[in-house]
Amino acid sequence: MNPLAWAQAWQRALGPAAQAVPPSFALPPGAAPAAFPAAAPPAEELVRIQQDFAHDWAGLCNAASRGELAPIDDPRFAGEAWRASPHNFIAHAYLLSARTLRRMADSVDAPESLRARLNFALMQWIEAMAPSNFLAFNPDAQRRFVESGGESLQHGIANLLGDLRKGRISHTDESSFGVGENLAVTEGSVVFENPLFQLIQYAPRTPKVHARPLLIVPPCINKFYILDLQPHNSLVRFALEQGVQVFLMSWRNPLPGEPDGLDHAGWDDYVEEGVIRAIDVTREISGQRQVNALGFCVGGTLLATALAVLKARRQNRVASLTLLTALLDFSDTGVLEVFIDAAQVQLREQQFARGGLLAARELAGTFAFLRPNDLVWNYVVNNYLKGEAPSPFDLLYWNADSTNLPGPLYAWYLRHTYLENSLRVPGRLTVCGVPLDLTRLDLPAYVYGSREDHIVPWTSAYASTGILRGPTRFVLGASGHIAGVINPASRNKRSYWVNDAPADGAQAWLAGAQEKPGSWWTDWSQWLRARSGALAAAPKGPGSARHPPIEPAPGRYVRARAT
């Protein structure tokens, strides 16, 4: 069969699959995504695109007929088997078609928000239709099938059936990890709990410790142990080794049907009975009038809200604030903004008007499809087509250990942050009975952003420096939302950027920034220890008379798995 016939057969085979799209971030089950308004490229631009495609297609066919197709610099098609015609031609034809479709979407005469949604939807279709995703068109998988005598396909089917039972794609060998066994193993005790969270006090790792403790507020949409994976990459352990006393909130994973469930918990509950309560217990146990506080991702948004509530009450209980890849200004939410519009938020508000839980699988599926090649189709090919077992990877185990969310909390968060961006506006919101004004926060702040973050763009993390009124240090790390944060100092990998000079905006800050090798953790620890008070003998035991230890860390709450 000649290359053109192969390409035509491939196009016919893939045609019926074109309707496959990932679930929408903000839609309840059974609700249809909002239809795109009619939009098309201008006629003259469309003609140019068609002409360019015809020219490139002719060149591709001519090169194939002469046997001069170049190897492709794309991991999906980089295997030796792909270099042989007709497979190389099919890969080239796919990439040419994908470039043309993206060019058409980019040229649509429509608002930027609509073009972003079009491009996102198109990305899902393009990545799903890659010939590497289909056994009939993947020569690497075919070769593996032949060389294994069919065992690779048997293993792939077994992997697929196992994932169907779990309801998700396996990204790692989950049998290699266990919470409290080889993950979240830093020694400590649960010293307080209520229906929302457990508070962990970690055991000191130095003879002397700084008097002022650090309270860590992790995101409630994930489990806390991303900050305490294994000893070599645990931010918690690193802080303890610097002589810092560490307390950490372990949010409860609400499960359906629990008698004291969180079906009706809202943002105010998570602020008052969550963050503020944790601040008070940490102060009481440590005997300190003020604590330092760190918020990661949504935990940073919750923490800043709680501090603004305390400020309105004229209570200064926190001495310094650290924000890691957190949003206070939601003007630019990156790729997530394609999921949010007024109609979708209203659907969620109606769905959770009488309470309920947002299932963990909905958020997990959405975040996976933000990077479909890396987190979806790569595993479809390796696990199912090639029959390979995923390698052990602690971060991906954590990523699969998702949590449910109270529906009212989720609906409030969608409307007042992603949709209306109200947190940044003084007095627009009332939380815990007081008007909210983040611009009154005048405590020292350390704000961190990751340069390749697709969930919290680093420029949006930087925008927090324009809201906070105290002395603020902004640091930019390499890599993405999670890998940028979890960059252990012991490995001395990647780099980070600093700039202490005043700057008019994020890009001006970056233009004057100095790149430093290694982990930003060392920079942060120096900043934190300078605000943690004098050294004194480490506490002899956890808790206090009022808050005795309840159970060893990591506690019960973090072990509850969403089904």
What positions carry a catalytic annotation? Answer: 297
Short-list 203, 205, 288, CA closest to 541: 203
The helix (H) or strand (E) run that includes residue 499 is none
Give the Cα separation of 263 and 451 in Å (integer).
36
Residue 555 and residue 250 in contact, taking contact as beta carbons nearer than 8 Å: yes
Give the Cα separation of 550 and 193 in Å (integer).
8
Amino acid at 30: G
Give the Cα separation of 427 and 430 in Å (integer).
7
Cα 100 to chain centroid, rounded: 30
Contacts of 563 (CB under 8 A, 6+ apart): 255
Give the Cα separation of 445 and 474 in Å (integer).
8
10 Å Cβ neighbour count for 44?
8
End-to-end CA distance of the chain: 48
Q: Assign 380 to helix, strand or coil.
A: helix
What b/e readout covers 489-510, taking b as 16+ CB neighbours within 10 angstroms?
Answer: beeeebbbbebeeebeebeebb
Helix/strand/coil (H/E/C) assignment for every residue in 186-210: CCEEEEEECCCEEEEEECCCCCEEE
Place of tokens 């900043």: 527
- Reading the block at residue 207, the tokens are 């003879």
Task: Give 430's strand partners.
Answer: 435
Q: Positive or negative CA dihedral for 329, 229, 267, 26? A: positive
Short-list 148, 124, 165, 125, CA closest to 385: 148
Q: 86: cis peptide before it, omega within 30°?
A: yes
SS3 content of the chain, % helix, strand, coil (to 5): 45, 15, 40
Q: Assign 394 to helix, strand or coil.
A: helix
Give the Cα separation of 43 and 331 in Å (integer).
33
- Specify burial of residue 263 (Cβ count, 10 A radius: 0-12, 13-18, 19+): middle
Contacts of 90 (CB under 8 A, 6+ apart): 3, 6, 7, 10, 131, 137
Instruction: List the helix and strand counts (H, then E) for the chain.
Output: 19, 17
What b/e readout covers 371-404, taking b as 16+ CB neighbours within 10 angstroms?
Answer: ebbebbbbbbbbbbbbbbebeeebebbbbbbbbb
Amino acid at 46: L
